[in-house]
């Protein structure tokens, strides 16, 4: 009798554990499809990009392929979205999951992101640790081993196709391309600027393969203001003096604005004979962070979050190619160089001048493009506080919309002392145009949001 009672108790206890296990297994996709988990995964790549000091254009490439891989691995489990193959003309067809197998597509999405992010940043050890974390997390929430295995295998197939596709975008070819030729005797043409006097970065980035912009001819900027410092009534001279005068009397609010949107990946600090470098997010990293803030602010689901990151990263990527093509078409000199040579040799801008030509403005272009992409997903009335710079000791700024943030960037680069105001205004319009094209074409990839 005692044995029967003990057996009965064991059966009940076992049933309780089986029931609990089944319930846990049935719910495993709920924690795995937490959009904040995706945001944290992107942030992990963001940190890798920061630590390796990738240039802003290269950083945009890191993000775009990883986010596209995540999106393609996610969509088999979300009927609201379709593949980008065919929408991006040169993108190959994506592998399909086996209908006879069960998957966690959120897990596949996260792993595909990491595998591609791992490849494009050459930081295998860091991303490998995070992949191991995701696998352990899947196990801890009761995901069946067969589902986990299937999901990892599907992520791997997606990642391999995306990585192979990425090899054809001319990136490797541009690594061996000629350096920018400095012509110091050509007044009005870009030359290296203090304090580092670095070579111009990515002079061949305009040759990188575009994603959704068919040709650079469709997104040309107008010619810059003609260089003219000999005539004090010329538009160019007036703009140069406007930068100097603003820089000489910046308010604390204007300084904060410039610092907040500085986003130079590595800043060379010079104090007497002491020099040291500090790292920050680059402009695309800043906007990846804003994507995460937007997802949390709007309580977006997993699919919408992945789509928003993907759309924003494509807008950033195409905007950088467009902007950099313009930069090395016109090769315009930086305000700091002109002010030092013709007006005040000791003048310095509030923020460090980055090492590439002045026209067009990279940050104003890509910020406007990113703002349009995010607006196409979340709308134009999303108020949020941007905490992206708090890790670097810069206080937060709040905005009523993504477009307002992009518009503020116009003034920020001017107050920073590194761009003509007209350059930033033109660049904002250019970026808006790029963002509109990208957002319009991506409508084909979604049925509803």
pLDDT tens figures, 55-107 = 999 999 999 999 999 999 999 999 999 999 999 999 999 999 999 999 999 99
**Band of pLDDT at residue 400, cut at 50, 70 and 90:** very high
Q: Who contacts 307 (Cβ-Cβ below 8 Å, separation ≥6)?
A: 71, 81, 377, 445, 446, 449
Same domain, 312 and 205: yes
- Is the bond preceding 229 in cis, omega lying within 30 degrees of 0? no
Decide if 434 is inside a domain.
Answer: yes
Alpha-carbon distance of 307 to 139, in angstroms, equals 26
Beta bridge partners, 446, equal 81
**Band of pLDDT at residue 447, cut at 50, 70 and 90:** confident
**Band of pLDDT at residue 29, cut at 50, 70 and 90:** confident
Alpha-carbon distance of 78 to 430, in angstroms, equals 33
Decide if 337 is inside a domain.
Answer: yes
At residue 230's C-alpha, the angle toward residues 227 and 235, to 5°, is: 50
pLDDT above 70: percentage of residues in the chain = 91
User: What is the value of pTM for the model shown?
Assistant: 0.93
Decide if 426 is inside a domain.
Answer: yes
Average pLDDT over residues 186-211: 95
**Band of pLDDT at residue 269, cut at 50, 70 and 90:** low
Average pLDDT over residues 198-208: 97
Residue 18 has a pLDDT of: 32
Same domain, 263 and 412: yes
The helix (H) or strand (E) run that includes residue 131 is helix 124-140
DSSP conformational letter for 196: T
Same domain, 251 and 358: yes
Range in 1-5, 45-49, 233-237, 331-335 the model is least confident about: 1-5
Q: Who contacts 98 (Cβ-Cβ below 8 Å, separation ≥6)?
A: 150
**pLDDT over threshold 70, residue 21:** no
- Residue 164's CB is within 10 A of a number of other CB atoms, namely 10
Total length of the chain: 449
Same domain, 92 and 218: no
The answer to whether 408 touches 286, Cβ cutoff 8 Å, is no
Beta bridge partners, 276, equal 269
**pLDDT over threshold 50, residue 4:** no
Same domain, 227 and 254: yes
Same domain, 197 and 297: yes
Which pair of tokens denotes residue 134?
A: 């995701």
Last residue of a domain, one of 171, 201, 231: 171
Same domain, 85 and 164: yes
Q: Between 35-52 and 124-140, two packed helices, what is the crossing angle to 10 degrees?
A: 160
The answer to whether 332 touches 359, Cβ cutoff 8 Å, is yes
**pLDDT over threshold 50, residue 11:** no
Q: What integer best gives the mean pLDDT of the chain?
A: 92
- Residue 254's CB is within 10 A of a number of other CB atoms, namely 18
Tally the domains of the chain: 2
Decide if 19 is inside a domain.
Answer: no
Residue 55 has a pLDDT of: 95
Q: Which domain holds residue 351?
A: 184-445
Residue 24 has a pLDDT of: 42
Decide if 351 is inside a domain.
Answer: yes
Residue 395 has a pLDDT of: 97
Residue 273 has a pLDDT of: 61
**pLDDT over threshold 90, residue 277:** no
**pLDDT over threshold 60, residue 413:** yes
Same domain, 159 and 194: no
**Band of pLDDT at residue 15, cut at 50, 70 and 90:** very low
Last residue of a domain, one of 146, 171, 196: 171
**Band of pLDDT at residue 410, cut at 50, 70 and 90:** very high
Report H helices in 220-355.
235-248, 252-260, 283-298, 302-330, 335-342
Residue 272 has a pLDDT of: 65
Residue 126 has a pLDDT of: 76
Alpha-carbon distance of 284 to 75, in angstroms, equals 24
DSSP conformational letter for 235: H
Residue 124 has a pLDDT of: 65
DSSP states along 37-59: HHHHHHHHHHHHHHHHT--HHHH
Residue 271 has a pLDDT of: 65
Same domain, 227 and 346: yes
Q: Which is more confidently placed, 183 or 41?
A: 41
Residue listed under structure tokens 């065919």: 86
The helix (H) or strand (E) run that includes residue 440 is helix 421-442
Decide if 3 is inside a domain.
Answer: no
Alpha-carbon distance of 379 to 449, in angstroms, equals 11
Decide if 9 is inside a domain.
Answer: no
Q: Between 235-248 and 402-416, two packed helices, what is the crossing angle to 10 degrees?
A: 90
Q: Who contacts 400 (Cβ-Cβ below 8 Å, separation ≥6)?
A: 381, 383
Q: Between 302-330 and 421-442, two packed helices, what is the crossing angle to 10 degrees?
A: 140
Q: How crowded is the C-beta side of 27, counted as CA atoms within 13 Å?
A: 9
**pLDDT over threshold 80, residue 298:** yes
Average pLDDT over residues 399-426: 98
**Band of pLDDT at residue 265, cut at 50, 70 and 90:** confident
Last residue of a domain, one of 144, 171, 198: 171
Three-state DSSP state, 446: strand
Residue 122 has a pLDDT of: 82
Same domain, 212 and 273: yes
Q: Which is more confidently placed, 325 or 278?
A: 325
Same domain, 286 and 404: yes
Average pLDDT over residues 409-419: 98
Decide if 5 is inside a domain.
Answer: no
Beta bridge partners, 384, equal 399
Same domain, 206 and 137: no
Q: Which is more confidently placed, 14 or 282?
A: 282
Q: Which is more confidently placed, 438 or 19?
A: 438
- In 3D space, the residue among 287, 290, 292 whose CA is nearest the CA of residue 34 turns out to be 292
- In 3D space, the residue among 255, 256, 259 whose CA is nearest the CA of residue 247 turns out to be 255
Residue 24 CA: distances (Å) to CA of 11, 32, 102, 109: 19, 12, 16, 21
Beta bridge partners, 398, equal 385
**CATH code of residue 403:** 1.10.606.20
């Amino acid at each position: 009798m005692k044995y029967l009672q003990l057996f009965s108790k064991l059966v009940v206890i076992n049933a309780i554990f089986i029931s609990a296990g089944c319930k846990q297994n049935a719910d495993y996709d709920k924690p795995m499809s937490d959009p904040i988990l995706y945001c944290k995964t992107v942030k992990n790549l963001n940190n890798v990009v920061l630590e390796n000091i990738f240039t802003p254009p290269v950083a945009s490439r890191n993000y775009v392929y990883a986010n596209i891989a995540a999106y393609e691995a996610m969509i088999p489990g979300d009927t609201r979205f379709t593949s980008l193959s065919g929408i991006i003309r040169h993108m190959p067809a994506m592998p399909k999951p086996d209908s006879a197998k069960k998957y966690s597509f959120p897990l596949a999405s996260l792993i595909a992101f990491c595998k591609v992010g791992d490849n494009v940043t050459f930081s295998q050890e860091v991303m490998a640790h995070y992949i191991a974390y995701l696998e352990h997390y899947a196990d801890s929430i009761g995901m069946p081993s067969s589902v986990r295995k299937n999901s990892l295998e599907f992520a791997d197939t997606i990642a391999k196709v995306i990585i192979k596709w990425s090899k054809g975008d001319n990136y490797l070819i541009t690594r061996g391309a000629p350096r920018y030729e400095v012509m110091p005797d050509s007044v009005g043409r870009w030359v290296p600027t203090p304090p580092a006097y670095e070579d111009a970065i990515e002079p061949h980035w305009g040759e990188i393969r575009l994603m959704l912009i068919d040709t650079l001819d469709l997104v040309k900027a107008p010619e810059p203001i003609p260089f003219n410092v000999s005539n004090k009534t010329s538009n160019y001279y007036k703009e140069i003096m406007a930068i100097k005068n603003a820089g000489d009397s910046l308010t604390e609010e204007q300084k904060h604005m410039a610092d907040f949107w500085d986003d130079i990946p590595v800043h060379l600090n010079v104090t007497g004979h002491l020099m040291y470098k500090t790292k920050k997010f680059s402009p695309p990293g800043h906007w990846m962070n804003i994507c995460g803030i937007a997802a949390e602010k709007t309580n977006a689901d997993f699919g919408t979050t992945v789509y928003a990151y993907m759309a924003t990263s494509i807008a950033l990527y195409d905007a950088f190619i467009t902007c950099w093509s313009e930069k090395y078409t016109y090769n315009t000199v930086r305000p700091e160089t002109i002010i030092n040579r013709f007006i005040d040799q000791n003048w310095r801008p509030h923020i460090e001048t980055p090492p590439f030509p002045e026209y067009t403005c990279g940050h104003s272009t890509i910020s406007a493009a990113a703002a349009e992409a995010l607006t196409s997903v979340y709308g134009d009335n999303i108020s949020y506080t941007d905490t992206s710079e708090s890790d670097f000791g810069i206080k937060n700024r709040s905005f009523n919309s993504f477009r307002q943030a992009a518009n503020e960037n116009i003034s920020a680069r001017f107050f920073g002392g590194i761009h003509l105001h007209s350059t930033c205004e033109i660049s904002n319009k250019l970026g808006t145009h790029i963002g509109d094209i990208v957002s319009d074409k991506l409508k084909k990839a979604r049925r509803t949001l």
